[in-house]
Amino acid sequence: MPGRLRTYLDWNATAPLLAAAREAMVTALDLSGNPSSVHGEGRAARAVIDGARRDVAALVEADAAHVTFASGATEAANMVLTPEFRMGRTPLKVGKLYVSGIEHPAVREGGRFEKEQVVEIPVTHAGMVDLAALEALLEAHDAASGLPMVAVMLANNETGIIQPVRAVAEIVRKRGGLFVVDAVQAAGRLPLSIGEFDADFMILSAHKLGGPKGGGALVSRGEVLMPKPLIRGGGQEKGHRSGTENVAALAGFAAAARAAQDELAARNERIATLRDRMEERMAALAPDLIIHGRGMARLSNTTFFSLPGLKSETGQIAFDLEGIALSAGSACSSGKVGASHVLTAMGFDAALGGLRVSLGPTTAEGDVEQFLEAFARIAARRRQGVAAA
């Protein structure tokens, strides 16, 4: 309906651009120099990138020298998910990649590994990586094929469930493998530390934090062990990722990374309170409602729910017509709405639709109230449809 007030509840898909990030980007756009040039204009652009590297490193308690910038998290994933590594000047082969069944498509597709080299780690019905299954898979790994690599997300983008990455790291270390943590959804919502997680690499995205789309980073524990470059050319980013850096995007990324660390605990507490009240009201309006991951450790902002009899695509369209922007899971599938691979991995019927509400720092009680009013109408229509059937 033209003029209808819109409510944005899809922060896990992308966060609106922060004012500080926009300001930093506009300032950076006025820099005329190439950051690889040695003259004053080039050095000014380089200074912005160096500052961004420090700010992004601080987000995960890493060394700034260990941040490699990319065009986004998908590129960062494809950089690190490769059979070919170097330990200094010595080639190092990775035999298989082990990824959980609930990973984002950017990781689940396996990057530069062949399909037969990618092994799925089962998850429990509760949506957690099955640690016993992972241990069994790594015990059976053929060491002659190369090292095992395990890639697991810290927080699931659909359910918000926080994964036991420290326990995963312990299992990986026992088998001498490499460990990659996808921290895209967790950044800005959980405290992050590459050392505490005992990860070899972490993947980050700017636009999930309120930075611009088109900025991402691969953060490593050190500089000795690094993947074979995905993009070759002029040798930028110490030869790990060639191509002239997107100075404006990285300036915005840096501003968002700084903001993400400000008052994190207080922000999470407010959003969690808002989310929990919303879920209580939803359950009262629809007693057969399924909230996936409720009772589990989750991101404070995420509710992934199913209404039996309501298809994902039908529900998403219905909420959109009500002025509510939410998702039917991952937004990174070329606009496709279909069965959630996360729910399937958790053992639910593929026909069960799932819808995701994700809140953000500027989400107000009025936004949630508008969603609940729409939810009540859609749930009522769904009941009538079920009764008629």
- Rounded distance, CA 97 to CA 117, Å? 6
Q: Which helix (H) or strand (E) element contains residue 260?
A: helix 247-260
Is the per-residue pLDDT at 339 higher than 90?
A: no
Most trustworthy range by pLDDT among 7-11, 378-382, 385-389: 7-11
Is the per-residue pLDDT at 333 higher than 70?
A: no
pLDDT band at 334 (very low <50, low <70, confident <90, very high): very low
The pLDDT assigned to 185 comes to 98
pLDDT tens readout for residues 26-51: 999 999 999 999 999 999 999 999 99
List the beta bridge partners of residue 329. Answer: none
The pLDDT assigned to 1 comes to 44
pLDDT band at 25 (very low <50, low <70, confident <90, very high): very high
pLDDT band at 387 (very low <50, low <70, confident <90, very high): very low
List the beta bridge partners of residue 8. Answer: 325
Helix, strand, coil shares of the chain, percent, nearest 5, are 40, 20, 45
Virtual CA dihedral for 308, 309, 315, 318, nearest 10 degrees? Answer: -130
Judge contact between 236 and 38, C-beta under 8 A. Answer: no
347-353 contacts: CB < 8 A, separation 24 or more?
347/125, 348/306, 352/290, 352/306, 352/308, 353/306, 353/307, 353/310, 353/311, 353/312, 353/313, 353/314, 353/315, 353/328
Judge contact between 310 and 70, C-beta under 8 A. Answer: no
Is the per-residue pLDDT at 2 higher than 80?
A: no
Residues annotated as catalytic are 332
Q: Which domains does the chain have, with CATH numbers?
A: 7-16+264-388 (3.90.1150.10), 22-260 (3.40.640.10)
Starting at the edge strand found earlier in the chain, the sheet holding 355-358 runs: 290-292, 302-306, 355-358
The pLDDT assigned to 335 comes to 52
